[in-house]
Each structure stands twice: as C-alpha cells, then as structure tokens.
Structure 1
C-alpha cells in the first residue's frame, strides 16, 4: 500500500525527483587538477557512526578518481551533534580540497533554526546525496510479534518503551514523531547515546525500541531475529517521485509507519505531528547522507567532484563493498542533489512552530 503525502510535500518531492531524473554531464572541467594535494573529508561526528562509515567508504576511491589522484583523508571533528564540525566547515576554503560528510543530524538543527547553528546547508555545494532507509525494531517483551502490524501497534501503545537518542533534535527525532503519530505515547527517551551505543543498549536490554538504517540492520541486527532478541515492526518507507510513501526497497515485506497508521485508524495520518513526521522522512531517508563542498566552490570543481563520484559509484569493487551501506536507493548528484536537499530542509513555518513547541513540552528543550 502506498500512503499519499500531504499536498505541499507531494508537490515539492515530485518536483525534486523530476530534477533528479535529468542526467548530469560526466566530464569534469579542464584545468582542475589535485595532483600532489591532500583532500580532507570532514566528518562532524566521532569515528564509527553512519557518516564516518559513509566517508571512509568513498575515501580510497576518491583518491583514485579525483583528477590528479590526490591523497584523501578523513578527519573526525565531533561535537554538538555535528553542529561544531559543520560550523567550522562553513568557513572552509572553496578550493575543492575540503569536503564534508553530511547526515540527518546535521540537517535537523539547521531546518529547525537552532541558535547554535552558524552554517547554511543551502549554501553548500552537494556532490552526492544518498537515501538510506530506517528499520524500527523492538524487544519481543513489548508484546510485538512482527506478524500482524495492527496487533503490534496496539501492543506497543500499551507497552512501556525506552528509546535512545543523541539529543532532542538529532536524527532519532524521526522515531519519536512516528511514535507520536501512531499513539505510542508511553516512551522514555535516554539522551547521550550514539547510534552504535543505542544498538548495544538495545541488545543488552537497556532500551526496548530502536532503529537502524537498512544497511546497518541487515549487517548488525537481523542475525538476532533467529535468537528471539529482535522483532522488526515497521520502516519509515521511502519518498517516491509521485509524492507517495512506498515500502523500503531493502525490506519490501515490512509496512511503513504511515501504512501502519492507516491500518490501525482506517484513514491517512494528518495534522501537525503527521506533517512533522513527513518532514523528517525527507531529512532522515531521502537526504540521509551526502558529500558536500563549501559555499562558493566554483562550478568546475563541483563538476570534477561529481564526475569522480559517479565513477566511484560505477566501480565494480566499490559497488560490491557499498552494497550494504548504500543499498538499492537511487543516488542524486550536483544540482539535482541540491534541489533534493532544499526540499528536505524546507519545513513549513507552521509545522516548524508546532515542532518547536512539542520539543519544548516533551523534553524541556528550547530551540
């Protein structure tokens, strides 16, 4: 079942994907040469997280395909849920020698107008944007069995749930908004946990509901299903070109959160919590990971990076290595990626106001 997005979101998403469908020329501009140079990919998180894995996946191949075959290194600059590193990146020279691995947790504070944010996502020059699905799973002691989505939601509405997050405005907010939409209101949130720490806490029984990207779930969590420690319940789904939310291509047998809502309540979700959830679907899935260059980077350098990145993605060895990280999702590049990024961070003012109020009421956190 496909769940229709709300009209404004559907229109913007369809327009963005229509742009993505247009091919970008592959050849980079003559004269761009990084021979003998050192290229740094900033990761505004500590080692081991999703953005770090993403950057290190591309690192050796960019050294091969960027013009001049430069040395490419990854530098972790964590702090403030990526805000510290992103603020520093905002002032980087636009010479093609510095890029950043951007994540949902970088987009959210910008989209919500966090006063600590000094960076402007829309000023950056995207190279590649990679969607990543989100798989939600629970401890079987919650009463969910993974066989009947209506029964599972009703069980989770009654259960005492504990969920982990980095902070009140990090990428985990997508889950909290989905839980709110589904009437799963008895959720205690433990802050200060990275994605890897959340997963470990779940497996130790310290939290009982969690999510992972489709790739991380298949690599690190799915094996525990057979041991009876994990029950996958739903996904966020995937924003399609026609404005609908389709099932995740990595787990097409699983219902989406909006599909679960329709099955439980007999109608499509609506209202501010649903609008906020859709906004986070775009930031959390459609624009989950990306490589970006600093503001003011000349077109010829952006083109060189885009050309090199397309060659990386087409490389047979990269495709083999990246299969479980990037998955079956369509990548977008350059100007097309910029349009999708703009759509993903363009939360309507009334939705943003509701969301700020909800975060304040729920977590006593001022935006």
Structure 2
C-alpha cells in the first residue's frame, strides 16, 4: 500500500508517539492512577524475588503519584527471557521495569547464543545488595576445604548456564582444575538444598544471602561453607577461605575477576532502552529514595535482607569496564568456559 505524500507527516507523528512518549503533563504527574509492572527474572522465593517484592513495597510511595506496583516473575532460561523481554518487547513508556541475573552483562559480552541484548543500552535504575558467592557442602561430603576439591569430586546442583549455581563451579573447574560435577535442572538454591537432603547432590554454589533461611542447618553442622568466590572476606563468615588461595598465576586471577565482577551489580534493575529520559531520571530518584528510606533499612535489618544501594552510575561504569576487557581475555574465557557463552 502506498501512503499519500500529504499523510506522511501525520504517519510520522503516530510512529513517534507509539515508539517514544509525549509528555502532555509534567513527569511528576505521569504515574498518578497508573499501574507499574515489576518483572523479576527469577522464580518465586529466590533472593532476587524476595528483594524485588520487598523493594516494591517501599518504592511505590517514593514514585510521584504513588502508582500500584504489580510484581510478576519471568524465570525462563535463568532470567535470559526477562532480559530479552526488557530489551526488545517491553513498553518504552515507563510502566514496565525489573531485574535479571547480575551475570547478564558478562554473558552478553561473551556472546551467549540465546541472549539478544546490548547491556549498554539499558537504562540502569540501580541495584540492591552487594552479595558474596559461596560454595557449601553437605556434612557427608569428603570435601571440607578448597584444596580438597583438587582431589575429591563434589556433585553440586546446577540451575542452568546463566545461574551462579552453574557458572561458579564451572569456572573453578576450567580455571583451577577443581573437581565439581554439576548436575543441572534444579530451581535455584532452594531446589539444590532439598536435593542435598535427599542425597541427590552433595553441595551447591550460590550467593551467600540465599543461605540465610538455612541457618539452622549450618548450626546443626549439616551444611558447611567450604569457600567464598571473592577475594574479600564476607564479614559474617570471615573464616571461610577464598578460592583465590588456589590460584597459581595472575592469568587465573584475571579470568576469575572478569567472570565474578558481576557480584558488584547486586540485584540490578532496569528500564527498557529508549525509555523517556524524564521518566528514567524520576525512577532513578525514586529508587534511591526508597532504598535509603529509614523504614526500609530497619525492616531489611530485621529480615536479614541485604538491600545495600548500588547507584545507577556505578552499574553503568561496571558495564563500560566489562566492554573494555581485552579481546584475548574474552577469547580465553570462551575457550575455558564454553557453557556460559
């Protein structure tokens, strides 16, 4: 169908309104009476899910107009589905935002086949939490220290290529020569811990915060922390050794730092690309105000839920730094750890 020349300006106007957004009112009034959808790329009960629902409770009162925030989950493909949705399908009108795995930026850089995003184009709102990753073993396992992993196999539950459950032990195996055996198919840390109790697996690697609900198992000696994946100690478990103690070269340390730098994203939140700058600025301020809310801080402390604020500028810088990684390092990681591409 040919469009009459006189109608072209009108058609262009409609495209502009549909693809962007025209503010006929101040941005501060935009959300009044509206509903916002928060999409969490992880299953219900996961740390991202708990953190997101907790944030939503306070965020609504810091957004001008106090819109209703409806939380939904999109956990398919270890949150890759959520990242792809934000990038290419979600409305660009400020009514949909959410979180996905902190591993998404590095996975995108490594060229993971089913991930169709450029992290540099997301509008980063900020993040919550500054988690440390740990590996735990059931009390019947022969593995008690990082060095034991060089001699004894540890069967651990995996959650898919985009999860810490699978990425952490896989990186250790390829870079350090540890003997993790990853059994895929478990739905997060909860599923893996239940599998340990059933005798299906012997351990799991995940963010430290995931184990706060298993404090009794730790106290009873049934669940043991055997290592942390970061160089810096975790304040609440300072005696747990670092996997970096097994590194014998600067190259090994550099490779692990690239992969594990994702921890600094915390639980990241984004608005889709091409969202109106006015709404991005408004949501960034609301996000910061919510996480700094004294009531949120007090309740998070009672719940032992890490809500450490990660400013959007820091997340943008992390992404930029990842994309400055020398190509030889990226190529080496692709060869060593093929299943996280």
Is residue 2:208 matched to residue 1:214?
A: yes
Question: Given the superposition, is the C-alpha separation of residues 116 and 300 from structure 1 closer, same or farther in structure 2, using an over 3 Å criterion?
Answer: same
Distance 2:319 2:340 in 1: 25
- CA shift, 1:157, in A, is 2.0
1:217-232 aligned within 5 A: 217=211, 219-232=212-225
When the two structures are superposed, what TM-score results if normalisation uses the length of structure 2? 0.81
Correspondence for 1:257: 243
Question: Given the superposition, is the C-alpha separation of residues 187 and 225 from structure 1 closer, same or farther in structure 2, using an over 3 Å criterion?
Answer: same
Distance 1:366 1:281 in 2: 13
Correspondence for 1:295: 273
Q: 2:318 aligns with which of 340, 361, 364?
A: 340
Q: 1:275 aligns with which of 254, 258, 272?
A: 254
> Which structure has the greater CA radius of gyration?
2
The alignment covers a number of residue pairs equal to: 310
Correspondence for 1:138: 137
Q: 2:112 aligns with which of 108, 111, 114?
A: 114
1:41-190 aligned within 5 A: 41-91=38-88, 92-130=90-128, 131-145=130-144, 152-171=145-164, 172-184=166-178, 186-190=179-183
Question: Given the superposition, is the C-alpha separation of residues 141 and 346 from structure 1 closer, same or farther in structure 2, using an over 3 Å criterion?
Answer: farther
- CA shift, 1:182, in A, is 4.1
Distance 1:178 1:320 in 2: 37
Structure 1 residues 324-348: Cα deviation after superposition (integer angstroms, max 9, x where no partner): 2326x5x222333311233356554
Structure 1 residues 209-240: Cα deviation after superposition (integer angstroms, max 9, x where no partner): 212322222x2233212322112122123xxx
Structure 1 residues 298-342: Cα deviation after superposition (integer angstroms, max 9, x where no partner): 332222112212221122331133332326x5x222333311233
Distance 1:345 1:56 in 2: 31
Structure 2 unaligned regions, length at least 5: 1-25
RMSD of aligned residue pairs (Cα, Å) = 2.5
Question: Given the superposition, is the C-alpha separation of residues 167 and 300 from structure 1 closer, same or farther in structure 2, using an over 3 Å criterion?
Answer: same
Distance 2:117 2:50 in 1: 23
Correspondence for 1:325: 305
Higher relative contact order (CA 8 A, sep 6+): 1
Q: 2:234 aligns with which of 228, 248, 255?
A: 248
